[in-house]
Structure 1
Amino acid sequence: MRTRLETYFKFAEHQATWRTEILAGLTTFITMAYIIFVNPAILSQTGMPLAAVTTSTCLCAALGSILMGVIANYPLALAPGMGLNAYFTYTVVKGMGVSWQTALGAVFLSGVIFLLLTFGGIRQRLVGAIPHQLHASVAGGIGLFIAFIGLHNAGIIVPSAATVVTLGNMHSPAVLLAIFGIVLIAILQAYRVKASMLIGVLATLALGIALHQVKYQPSTFNPMAIRDTAFHLDIRGALKMNALEIIFVFLFVDLFDNIGTLVAVTERAGLIAEDHTIPRLDKIFFADATSTVIGSLAGTSTVTSYIESSAGVAAGGRTGVTAITTGILFFIAIFVAPVVGAIPDFATAPALILVGALMVAGAARINWDEPTIAIPSFLTLITIPLTYSIATGLSFGLISFAILELATGKGRREHWMLYLLALLFLGRFIYLHAS
């Protein structure tokens, strides 16, 4: 049985071991665990019951990650997307006055459209339209992005009215603990310890507990509370209100955030083929779209691939076993959610910061001497963290690449999808400005 599983997940091809894959899955889970409480905190502001959304968040992350691992055999973990949950709550429900049931109906419709686009091969063509020269810049930009998030979560950088951001309080216990975690992980990585991320997070957490910096408030939790949101979506209401704009945003943001994450993680893991294509792309998108449909039925916003999967990849994860491990841990979290919630930001932030450092290394492969590649790559690299959006950074990169190709006479007929994407992104910027 074990040999069959190793053959199915291609352990030999990826030089994978059970120990490394399971540790990688645990590492990914720990860096993602915040979603168990952040997502319900955001969605509950729509009137959705907190306990129900907590259960649906864990369940959808579990099923989505396991689906990805089993069907596509990639170390990509899934969960309800940050940003999309905020759009769901603050723009659709609170801003437009749409009921959360109808908003879930719109999420369901976007998931169904995703499936149709996948079966039609359109999503795969969109990924193929992204120039392979930009792959390293997308990975590097997302590396800067998650490092920025980690530095902010740790309190090492804080908002500033004068300079946008500035140095935080370096005497804060949380900041000092985060710095301890960064130094520990860095030393372990220097010694080539594969479980450096996991050891660093757990050691920082243990030190935080010893110093009484971890505040744990036990609470009652009933997994059956999911009945308050499961199958409460209003598809007919979404169709009646002509929710095309809402569905388009769910589609657009998820599609291009997912593409950016996918390119970054596979690039970092060395899973992109020699012809710059991503193997089994249709299966990846099928798992992603199916998870969104399941999420709407269970009672949560759009489910998407998580960039925190990079932490598992950095820990050595190369196969679907990493994602399956993460999924199993999310399923267990349904019953022990209050315990999982005890993992503070200062413990997970060091892993995000140093995963970001590993991902930026790919920028060395960019041909900085060629302006038609260097400029779009730089714009992609810098705008992802500064706009807090993978999709926006990818937009800048694609638009500038298309303009430079056409302006220098290098445009090719077979690149029509690239130019179409550039026009769509440009239209998005015009629409956002107009609204």
Structure 2
Amino acid sequence: MKPLLSLFEFEKNNTTFQREITAGLTAFFTVAYIIVVNSSILHDSGINLQMAVLATVFVSIFGCLLMGLYANAPIVLVPGMGINTYFTYTIVHNQGLSWQSALGIVVVSGLIFIIVAFSSIGVKITKSIPASLKHAISVGIGVLITFIGLQKGGVVLVHPQTGLQLGSLSDPQVILTLIGLLIALVLFILDLKTAFLLTILSITGLAAYIGIINLSGSKPLHISEYSSFFGSFSLKDIGTVDFWLAVFSLTLLSVFEHVGLLQGLLPNKDRFARSLKAGSITAMVSGLFGTSPTISAAESAAGTAVGGRTGLTAITAGIAFAFTLLFLPFINMIPNSATSPILVIVGALMFQSVKEIPFHNLSEAIPAFLLIIFIGFTQSIPDGMAFGFISYAIIRIINKDFRKDNIVLFVIAGLFLISLFLK
């Protein structure tokens, strides 16, 4: 026990061994749904579902252990919601790149993120971006995630004339999705930390009961096959505009996700710097493991809320992720109806940032509105960001606002403008 006391500085951080273990388990059960949901989204990009599951688990173990041992911070690192949808539905589906090239983009973006994290560039970039645009990005991604959830659950369908239409309410998949949405909503309002996990389990059980899936048909998980999947990223498209546009957008998203949460949960500057470095390294190796980038999970707040103060919280969560390997053979049987409600609720949570946008100030509101609308209607995060940043820069020029704080903003807007013309 003494080595642990000295390593994690329990007394200095006013915590105990038992409290840290409890916090780690709380954080894990709050975020465990990511194994199922992230794997499902990665599978849509063409990645084998079992490999996606293993990649999600392994990178989460790696990230949590690195965060705990190197940064001594109670932060859980897992593949991020929002960034995973960008990986699959923008880079692969919209831009037409292979999932191997998308993983290559994750690796290159991660290397840039490491450079940013090991210097002061990251914080400077984050501070130079207007708060209204940061919140708009969160809202826009929330709209996109919600749409994807409704579509995967069959609630919203493509219509040849009108574009979209409501799915058949007599379809068992749609019924299960709506029931799952109701269950998730009730459990979430009751503030159950395992709301998402319980929703997935209950809908999967219901689907098995009515005969939509067969629980006895679970496939064995061959972990040995993962060795040939590890490192499957490709750099064959590194000379294309689409590749670098994706790298640029993915790097911005990664920096925003990490810095925003770490600044809120880690007032200690020393821990902030080391946590950002741990986050950047894990984001880079995500591409090696075979998944979209990791982020500092917002669910880490569940652990800190029950007293988590040190890296032992993160390490406990990492060990808990390792134990999930025993149950992974059943994950490939989980239907879309069980994961779709989670996407909708996550989208709603991200949409809450809309209240932080000052709509009374049109100079701030219009660029934020354009960013949100273009993400939602084009199903493209970088296109939405482009219109948001470019319009914001134009308004600053019209208002003759050339403060030094806006230089980085103008550079980012210029890069987005170039990317639009090169598409």
TM class by smaller structure: 0.7 to 0.9
Q: How many equivalent pairs are there?
A: 406
Find the partner of 1:248 among 234, 244, 261: 244
Distance 1:293 1:134, change over 3 A: closer
What is the alpha-carbon distance in structure 2 between the residues aligned to residue 222 and residue 125 of structure 1?
Answer: 45
Q: Is the 8 A contact 2:30 2:302 kept in 1?
A: yes
State whether residues 75 and 321 of structure 1, in contact with CA within 8 Å, keep that contact through their aligned partners in structure 2: no
CA distance in 1, matches of 2:238, 2:185: 52
**Structure 2 residue aligned with 1:408, among 381, 392, 399?**
399
TM-score, normalised relative to structure 1: 0.75
Distance in 2 between residues matched to 1:105 and 1:314, nearest whole Å: 31
> How far off its partner does 1:131 sit?
0.7
Q: Secondary structure at the match of 2:32?
A: helix
State the identity %.
Answer: 25
Output the amino acid matched with 1:78.
P
Q: Are 1:379 and 2:375 an aligned pair?
A: no
Unaligned runs of 5+ in 2: none
Q: Secondary structure at the match of 2:170?
A: coil
In the alignment, which residue of structure 1 is the partner of 2:157? 158
Give the direction of change, closer, same or farther, for the CA distance of 1:188–1:34 in structure 2 (3 Å limit).
closer
Residue deviations 1:377-433 (CA, integer Å, cap 9, x gap): 21222223333333333332222222112212333123211111111111111111x
CA–CA distance in 2 between the matches of 1:54 and 1:264? Answer: 27
Q: How does 1:10-159 map to 2 (within 5 A)?
A: 22-36=25-39, 39=42, 42=45, 55-68=54-67, 71=71, 73-78=74-79, 81-84=84-87, 87=91, 91=96, 108-159=107-158
Distance 2:422 2:11 in 1: 46
- Name the SS of the counterpart of 1:207 in structure 2: helix
1:137-216 equivalences under 5 Å are 137-216=136-215
Residue 29 of structure 1 and its aligned partner are, at CA, apart by 2.5
**Alpha carbons 1:295, 1:302 under 8 Å: kept:** yes
For the residue of structure 2 that corresponds to 1:162, the secondary structure is coil
Secondary structure of the 1:294 match is: helix
Aligned twin of 2:353 = 362
Q: Cα RMSD over matched residues?
A: 4.2
After TM superposition, give the deviation of residue 105 of structure 1 in Å. 6.9
Q: Is the contact made by 1:36 and 1:58 (CA closer than 8 Å) also made in structure 2?
A: no
Shift of 1:170: 0.9
Q: Structure 1, unaligned stretches of length 5 or more?
A: 95-99
Cα distance in 2 for partners of 1:142, 1:9 equals 39
**Inter-partner Cα distance in structure 1 for 2:312 and 2:159:** 42
**8 Å contact from structure 1 (residues 118, 285) kept in 2:** yes
Counterparts of 1:264 and 1:213 in 2: how far apart (Å)?
41
Task: From the superposition, tell whether residues 167 and 11 of structure 1 become closer, same or farther in structure 2 (CA, over 3 Å).
Answer: farther
Amino acid at match of 2:79: L
> Which residue pairs with 2:226 in the alignment?
226
TM-score by length of 2: 0.77
AA partner of residue 77 (structure 1): V
**3-state SS of 1:305 partner:** strand
What is the CA–CA distance in structure 1 between the aligned matches of 2:13 and 2:300, rounded to whole Å?
A: 16
Residues 1:231 and 1:376: Cα distance change in structure 2 (over 3 Å): closer
The Cα of 1:24 is off from its aligned counterpart by 4.4
